[in-house]
């Protein structure tokens, strides 16, 4: 069941569908992004900031794709490996509009009452 919700999340993120994404997260969700090349200090966000960042990403990316490779779960916790690709809409450093960014990623998602309550991202760009 939780894997189906994660597929729904990935599909909503690909469409930049704020309402569909919001419907999958608890009001008090916490997302932690571990340090990576794009965010050397990592990040910690709540629901409002996550949704705001999704809106902002529509101005940065033409499109994005989440390709789920593996998922394993135990109880309320699911770990997912996926490949993320994003096509730039703007210049970003040495990258030009139309260039594709890639990341090999893993995410830990915890559920309560069918909603995501905790998310930890381990992104390798």
Mind listing the pLDDT tens digit for each residue in 25-59? 999 999 999 999 889 999 999 999 999 999 999 99
Structure confidence at residue 4 (pLDDT): 94
Look at residue 21 and tell me whether its pLDDT is greater than 90.
yes
> What is residue 34's three-state secondary structure?
coil
User: Residue 66, Cα to own-chain centre: how many angstroms?
Assistant: 8
Structure confidence at residue 85 (pLDDT): 98
Burial 30-56 (b: 16+ CB within 10 A, else e): bbebeebeeeeeebebebeebbeebee
Of the candidate CATH numbers 3.10.450.50, 3.40.50.300, 3.40.50.720, 3.40.718.10, the domain formed by 2-124 belongs to 3.10.450.50
Structure confidence at residue 125 (pLDDT): 87
Structure confidence at residue 84 (pLDDT): 98
State how far the Cα of 40 lies from the Cα of 18, in Å rounded to an integer: 26
């Amino acid at each position: 069941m939780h894997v189906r919700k994660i597929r729904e999340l990935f599909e909503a993120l690909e469409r930049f569908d704020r309402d569909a994404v919001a419907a999958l997260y608890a009001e008090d969700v916490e997302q932690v992004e571990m340090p990576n090349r794009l965010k050397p200090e990592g990040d910690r966000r709540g629901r409002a900031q996550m949704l705001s960042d999704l809106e902002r990403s529509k101005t940065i990316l033409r499109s994005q794709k989440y390709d789920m490779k593996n998922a394993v779960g135990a109880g309320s916790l699911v770990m997912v490996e996926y490949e993320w690709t994003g096509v730039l809409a703007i210049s970003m450093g040495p990258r030009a509009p139309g260039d594709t960014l890639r990341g090999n990623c893993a995410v830990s998602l915890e559920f309560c009452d069918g909603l995501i309550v905790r998310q930890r991202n381990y992104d390798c760009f």
